[in-house]
Structure 1
Amino acid sequence: MNKFKYLKISKNKQIRYLCNNYKEKTYIIFLHGFMSNIEGEKPKAIFKYAKKNNFGFLAPEYSGHGKSTGTFIKGNISKWSEEVKITIKKVVKKNKFILVGSSMGAWLSLNQFKYFKEQIIGFLGIGSAPEFLENLMWKKFTKKMKNETIKKGIYNLKHGDYEYPITYQLIKDGRKNKILNKKIKSCISVTLIHGGKDEVVPTSYSRKILRLFTKANKKLIIIKNGDHSLSNKHGLKRILLELNKITSNIV
């Protein structure tokens, strides 16, 4: 595994990232999920795939995540999307690239289409979760939870073994980043993979994304017993197989 690097994007903000530089090659960009990082099985497997097949690779870690600087509760979709954009401009430069977005990473990926229309030549979504803050969190909050979030500015949401600090500013910013009512006219390959037993994000979210792409060569794959992360051996194998199909179409 290559050493992680850091990119200073403002006076007091450093983003950690993993990359494999190629001057004139197509890049694969992996965007991780909410409260995740770039040390998981998916970025490792995709990094390895990129190296083996001579693709450039980039996986940025958003502020407040992993070992990037910043406080998680100060982050939001707008800030994280902007950090991704800056990192792409700095590392990938003018090269073409394929976006691979996991969960919230798919939402951040969709936000990149407004900046890099011509450079994006493929998109692979894994358990995609656009607009999850409003639809899968806020709308399911009880009145008491909503009142606490508004009053204190934060609510610590327990989910399984995890606790997610959900700030009111994060919820409000999510509303400014609605993507499911837009249309993306890129003529690219779009593949969405979703676990049939995903208990975090319904498969309908992947179907909604497919509707955004009016001219793409698109498909949805539901992995029968797959969970949300699809980080097990079977899930990773399928992700790499579908990624390979996208890269085969463009090389």
Structure 2
Amino acid sequence: MNKFKYIKVLNNRQIRYLSKEYKDNLYIVFLHGFMSNIEGEKPQTIFKFAKKNKLGFLALEYSGHGKSSGKFIKGNITKWSKEVEALIKKVVKKNNFILVGSSMGAWLSLNQFKYFKGQIKGFLGIGSAPEFLQNLMWKKFTKNMKNETIKKGIYNLKHGNYEYPITYQLIKDGRKNKILNKKIKSKINVTMIHGSKDEVVPTSYSRKVLKLFTKANKKLVIIKNGDHSLSSKRGIKKILLELDKITSNVA
């Protein structure tokens, strides 16, 4: 079993993370999705890939996720993006890195370009979901759901077998983190992978992300019959294949 570590950042938030550290190597930074953690198939397999290829690696659980401290309902995109920034500064330091963002992790990844533009040498998105709070949640809420969220400050959204506590502050903070109207001029390889049967985030979101990059070498990979998480053997195989292409192209 991989050894998880803990580090205190930003007002003593205890963040759990997984890393393989090198002094001068290229790193892979994996950012998980909404209410997820770093024990899943994707972070674990990508960690093995990094070790095998002698690449540095960092994956972290944002506050309120997994075994990191804090309450989920106190978190938001701004807070989680700052935690990612803090961990990259502490673990990756000045090394170059490739971002791998799954679902909400792709949104947090896009937020890192304003801090580490020169260090980011590639970006791989998996079922990317920037601005999902407004566009895929709030806009689909009924009037009653919206009223309850505003009045009580929270709405417990049932989706499949899960229940998501959606706070009004989370929705409002999401609006402050608009990214789809920005332009990113990094000359890097950007690959978006999306399942054709993703019932959570439409494939159009991956296309929207690609449009942000004006000078990148861009690629969209649609996995036939693939779901949102792409954690199946076929999905993981494709993710590693595309990740290998990106890492191999970094000089």
Regarding TM over 0.5, the answer is yes
CA distance in 2, matches of 1:75, 1:122: 27
Pairing 1:45-194 to 2, within 5 Å after superposition: 45-194=45-194
Q: Which runs of 4+ in 1 moved over 2 A?
A: none
Q: TM-score, normalised by structure 2?
A: 0.99
CA distance in 2, matches of 1:248, 1:171: 38
**Equivalent in the alignment of 1:210:** 210
Pairing 1:231-250 to 2, within 5 Å after superposition: 231-250=231-250
- Residue type at the aligned position of 2:201: V
For residue 10 of structure 1, report the CA deviation from its aligned partner.
3.5
For residue 12 of structure 1, report the CA deviation from its aligned partner.
3.5
**Equivalent in the alignment of 1:34:** 34
In the alignment of these two chains, the number of paired residues is 251
For residue 31 of structure 1, report the CA deviation from its aligned partner.
0.0
Q: Counterpart of 1:15 in 2: which secondary structure?
A: strand
Report if aligned partners of 2:10, 2:83 keep a CA contact under 8 Å in 1.
no
CA distance in 2, matches of 1:21, 1:99: 16
CA distance in 2, matches of 1:149, 1:7: 33
- Residue type at the aligned position of 1:41: E
RMSD of equivalent CA atoms: 0.6
Change (3 A) 1:242 1:119: same
- Residue type at the aligned position of 1:200: V
CA distance in 1, matches of 2:205, 2:3: 35
Q: Counterpart of 2:37 in 1: which secondary structure?
A: coil
Q: Counterpart of 1:250 in 2: which secondary structure?
A: coil
For residue 101 of structure 1, report the CA deviation from its aligned partner.
0.0
Gaps of 5+ in 2: none
Q: TM-score, normalised by structure 1?
A: 0.99
Pairing 1:215-230 to 2, within 5 Å after superposition: 215-230=215-230
CA distance in 1, matches of 2:208, 2:3: 37
CA distance in 2, matches of 1:48, 1:65: 22
**Deviation per CA, 1:73-114, whole angstroms, max 9, x where unpaired?**
000000000000000000000000000000000000000000
Q: Counterpart of 1:51 in 2: which secondary structure?
A: helix
CA distance in 2, matches of 1:13, 1:114: 23
CA distance in 2, matches of 1:72, 1:27: 28
Q: Counterpart of 1:101 in 2: which secondary structure?
A: strand
- Residue type at the aligned position of 1:32: H
CA distance in 2, matches of 1:225, 1:11: 43
**Equivalent in the alignment of 1:8:** 8
For residue 201 of structure 1, report the CA deviation from its aligned partner.
0.0
Report if aligned partners of 2:28, 2:99 keep a CA contact under 8 Å in 1.
yes
- Residue type at the aligned position of 1:119: Q
Gaps of 5+ in 1: none
For residue 11 of structure 1, report the CA deviation from its aligned partner.
4.1
Q: Counterpart of 2:175 in 1: which secondary structure?
A: helix
For residue 2 of structure 1, report the CA deviation from its aligned partner.
2.5
CA distance in 2, matches of 1:13, 1:131: 25
CA distance in 2, matches of 1:25, 1:90: 15
